[in-house]
Structure 1
Amino acid sequence: MRFDQLQQQPLLRIASVVKRFGGFTAVDGLSLDIGAGEFFALLGPSGCGKTTLLRMLAGFETPDAGAIHLNNADIAHVPPHRRPVNMMFQNYALFPHLSVDSNIAFGLKRAGLPKAEIDTRVAEMIALVRLGGFEKRRPDQLSGGQRQRVALARSLARRPQVLLLDEPLAALDKKLREETQAELVDVQRRLGMTFVIVTHDQEEAMTLADRIGVMDKGQLVQVAPPRQLYEGPVSRWIASFVGDVNLIEGQISSREADRVTISTQAGEAIIASQAPPSASAICVAIRPEKIRLMHPEQAATAVPNTFAGELIDIGFLGGVSVYKVKLASGAVLRVASSNATRRAANGFAVGGKVSVSFAPDDVVVLDR
């Protein structure tokens, strides 16, 4: 999908929506456009308003102000059963006494579709989610991943214009969750349907979504594709919420055409390629995987952003190890490095002298 067309042709337009519960404002003047065929993720901590927004899209909550347009029609006050929108719940909400095919057919029967059409759609959904041979099993005879696929098939059977997903993978273990994420993306791509998912899992949002909207205190803080969100956070809060990051306080001491020098509170001078034009007191963000860990004899002292330090901790995480390096100033940096060999810690040991280095292009300067 071309995101430069989104503002001209959004399928779903949320305009200045407000939702209050007593004196608490759950969603505060939020505006957002979502395109046809887009997989959009709402990401944020508990209580940020993302589920409330999803429930307003589904029709289970009514906005106190603002509008929700689907295909240019305001649906903010349209009841749920009359919206071309469906919702897949976190607990799947399957009927335990009904078989797989009966669960999928339930909403179609309530909609009054002819039996022949119901049978055709159920067969299409069974094939789509790869549950052939399981049609007559009840939910308690299925694995967690299979139940998730039944719930997905039932949500899709009525062919909604938008499918809303409320943390649908939260109950699955890590391996099954990763497999199901791939299946979910595959189904969405094959159907070309608009999916909107709510999650607090950053990795899940990055894996699934074309774009991510990060929410905090009822507002959207940043909306961007996953890579842009990770590499170009617009605030200190975003940088720390999305992925692991080193944050260093400082002041801009000089600016040149493609070089900004930052004096940190700890005493180091960090070189960045760019910085906000009006910023003075700033925060430097450096992702751990952007930092190179070296033995002291490997370090080139003339290279910008090269510092000596002591290795104070090593965390082995399987594919990567996370090293904590204490610089001479006392500042501690986290460094992530892939375990490309089977040698323990790639030759590094706690208490040993090391050097770290990172490129000016990898330094993100944020206005405090």
Structure 2
Amino acid sequence: MAEELSKPEPQAVSADLPLLRIDAVVKTFGGFRAVDRLSLDIGAGEFFALLGPSGCGKTTLLRMLAGFETLDEGRILLNGTDIGPVLPHQRPVNMMFQNYALFPHLTVRDNIAFGLRRARMPRSQIDTRVAEMIALVKLEGLETRKPDQLSGGQKQRVALARSLARRPKVLLLDEPLAALDKKLRESTQLELMEVQRRLGMTFIIVTHDQEEAMTVADRIGVMAAGRLEQVATPRELYEAPGSRWIAEFVGDINLFEGQVASREANRLAVSTNAGMLLAAQPRQPITNTIVAVAIRPEKVKLSRRGPMPDPLNAQAVNRLEGVVTDVGYLGGLTTYKLKLDSGAVLRSSMANTARIDIDAYSAGQRVVAWFTPDDCVVLEQ
């Protein structure tokens, strides 16, 4: 039955307009600006994540989209129509809350049907729609149970089905997986992605979990202090952070302060506290000589003697020597902390490709760390 699930009706959107346009919106609480002139376009059928630390304004923005918070300034356009004045229950938008907000006295079937009955949909259509939703989220056989008879993952599915039942144009998800344990959260992320793909619906998820955002989203908007710091695909965000703040916030990173010593061809030579480092020329021109060089730990290779020199390109590899001070075995990979001869600290993360530890290093062992100029990202701020 799930395979025959009907998709939302095609959304007539002008070719030059996104499905959802957030235009310079502002929300203040007292003297505090929770959202500060934020603008963002989200396309039809996109899975978009709002990522950021607690208090950055991401949930406030989501609540404005749902109509639970009024805008102080700006507009929210859906299909080119300003929905700011539209009441929450009249918007073609639905929201799935972090605590699921299920009705404890209603069964699974009745929880899912609740919004459809409020909309006065004919009973036969309600029965058909509820059956579609139950099949979609794989709750067959649990229709007559009440929320206190369900596991956390099952409650999450009921809440999702109820949110989807009225076929909103945009589904808003506020930390929907926060209450689940790690393994269940990971499997549910994949199920959520599958549901979104099959429906072709626009999903906007708020999360503080970087791994979750990187897993489910087509694009991620990183927020801080009510503003968007960067909007990019997960790969772009990780490999080409737009600022030093983004580089430090998203994933683990080695960051070395330095000064541009020379520029040649497509490379920069940067004198840092770890030593002289060669980095690929950034996409955006570097206008300041004071910079930071960022290297992800998984880009840093370790060996006992270092890479074999290339006679045609002897400067192609950054080579740093030091002593292993800490080792962390994490199953699929091992993390190392090194104290370099310069006194700086460098972290490396290496995949465990062999079952036995023939390639492992131990604390106190002297090693060579190396990485290429293309592994380095030069940041001005």
Report the TM-score when normalising by structure 1.
0.96
- The size of the alignment, in residue pairs, is 363
CA drift at 1:8: 2.2
Report percent identity of matched pairs. Answer: 66
* Equivalent in 333, 338, 345 of residue 351 of structure 2: 338
d(CA) in 1 for partners of 2:147, 2:120: 24
Question: 2:380 maps to which residue?
Answer: 367
Question: 1:187 maps to which residue?
Answer: 195
**Paired residues of 1:42 and 1:213 also in contact (CA < 8 A):** yes
Question: 2:371 maps to which residue?
Answer: 358
CA deviations 1:32-74 (Å, max 9, x no partner) are 0000000000000000000000000000001100000001110
* Equivalent in 34, 40, 43 of residue 51 of structure 2: 43
CA deviations 1:332-363 (Å, max 9, x no partner) are 11000011123347331110110000010110
Q: Which amino acid aligns with 1:311?
A: V
d(CA) in 1 for partners of 2:168, 2:214: 24
* Equivalent in 212, 216, 236 of residue 220 of structure 2: 212
**Paired residues of 1:11 and 1:71 also in contact (CA < 8 A):** yes
**Paired residues of 1:215 and 1:222 also in contact (CA < 8 A):** yes
d(CA) in 1 for partners of 2:334, 2:307: 20
Question: 2:238 maps to which residue?
Answer: 230
* Equivalent in 270, 277, 285 of residue 286 of structure 2: 277
Change (3 A) 1:43 1:267: closer
d(CA) in 2 for partners of 1:222, 1:285: 17
CA drift at 1:262: 0.3
CA drift at 1:160: 0.3
**Paired residues of 1:293 and 1:354 also in contact (CA < 8 A):** yes
* Equivalent in 131, 154, 158 of residue 166 of structure 2: 158
CA deviations 1:291-310 (Å, max 9, x no partner) are 10111265649452011111
Q: Which amino acid aligns with 1:183?
A: E
* Equivalent in 329, 338, 342 of residue 325 of structure 1: 338
* Equivalent in 191, 196, 206 of residue 198 of structure 1: 206
Counterpart of 1:244 in 2: which secondary structure?
Answer: coil
Equivalences for 1:134-145 in 2 at 5 Å?
Answer: 134-145=142-153
d(CA) in 2 for partners of 1:297, 1:26: 50
Q: Which amino acid aligns with 1:177?
A: R
Counterpart of 2:354 in 1: which secondary structure?
Answer: coil
d(CA) in 1 for partners of 2:306, 2:164: 60
Change (3 A) 1:298 1:155: same
* Equivalent in 292, 297, 302 of residue 288 of structure 1: 297
CA deviations 1:83-136 (Å, max 9, x no partner) are 000000000011111111000001111111111111111011011111111111
- Name the Cα RMSD after superposition: 1.5
Report the TM-score when normalising by structure 2.
0.93
CA drift at 1:31: 0.2
Question: 1:312 maps to which residue?
Answer: 325
Q: Does 1:177 align with 2:177?
A: no
CA drift at 1:9: 3.0
Q: Does 1:102 align with 2:102?
A: no
Counterpart of 2:21 in 1: which secondary structure?
Answer: strand
Q: Does 1:82 align with 2:90?
A: yes
d(CA) in 1 for partners of 2:133, 2:265: 58
d(CA) in 2 for partners of 1:220, 1:291: 30
Question: 1:268 maps to which residue?
Answer: 275
Structure 1 gap segments, 5+ residues each: none
Question: 2:7 maps to which residue?
Answer: none
**Paired residues of 1:155 and 1:163 also in contact (CA < 8 A):** yes
Larger deviation, residues 120-129 vs 297-306: 297-306
d(CA) in 1 for partners of 2:274, 2:28: 47
Runs of 4+ displaced beyond 6 Å: none
Structure 2 gap segments, 5+ residues each: 1-12
Counterpart of 2:190 in 1: which secondary structure?
Answer: helix
Change (3 A) 1:274 1:298: closer
**Paired residues of 2:17 and 2:80 also in contact (CA < 8 A):** no
Change (3 A) 1:159 1:256: same
